[in-house]
């Protein structure tokens, strides 16, 4: 089993749609969780951290379910500019638990007009 697992997609959605991505992680001791965004042929950039209580940033909502070891990202009112690959990221999955982040393979989103 992969340490951080995501559905690779692609998710093809029309503008204005709501889309949700899930991610599962293997280590129950993981402490920090993030969603990164990677545009085509660009480097990944932090989209948002994921907090235990869930958090929202504009059209984006992140949720953490520790019991089931999954993280979700919800995007409301999708825009064309949301088209990208979304990477689920978890820390503490190797011997250097403090600062190591492990990236999922990413979920590709394509928003169509």
User: At closest approach, how far in Å is the CB of 77 from another protein?
Assistant: 26
Q: Which is nearer to another protein, 1 or 14 (CB)?
A: 1
Q: Which is nearer to another protein, 82 or 86 (CB)?
A: 86
User: At closest approach, how far in Å is the CB of 16 from another protein?
Assistant: 28
Distance, in Å, from the CA atom of 91 to the CA atom of 96, rounded to the nearest integer, reads 10
- Cβ within 8 Å of residue 75, ≥6 positions away: 18, 19, 20, 59, 60, 82, 109
- C-alpha distance across the termini of the chain, in Å: 37
User: At closest approach, how far in Å is the CB of 33 from another protein?
Assistant: 10
Q: Which is nearer to another protein, 18 or 31 (CB)?
A: 31
Rule CB under 8 A: which residues touch another protein?
A: 31-32, 34, 42-46, 49, 87, 91, 94-96, 98-106
Give all strands (DSSP E) within 17-106, no chain letters.
19-25, 33-38, 45-50, 55-57, 60-65, 70-75, 84-91, 101-103
User: At closest approach, how far in Å is the CB of 90 from another protein?
Assistant: 10
């Amino acid at each position: 089993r992969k340490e951080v697992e995501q559905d690779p997609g692609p998710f093809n959605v029309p503008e204005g749609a709501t889309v949700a991505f899930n991610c599962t992680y293997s280590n129950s001791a993981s402490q920090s969780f993030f969603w990164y965004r990677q545009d085509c042929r660009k480097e990944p950039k932090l989209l948002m951290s994921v907090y235990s209580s869930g958090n929202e940033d504009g059209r984006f909502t992140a949720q953490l379910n520790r019991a089931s070891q999954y993280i979700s990202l919800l995007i409301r009112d999708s825009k064309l500019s949301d088209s990208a690959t979304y990477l689920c990221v978890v820390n503490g999955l190797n011997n250097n638990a403090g600062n190591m982040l492990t990236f999922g393979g990413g979920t590709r989103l394509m928003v169509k007009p």
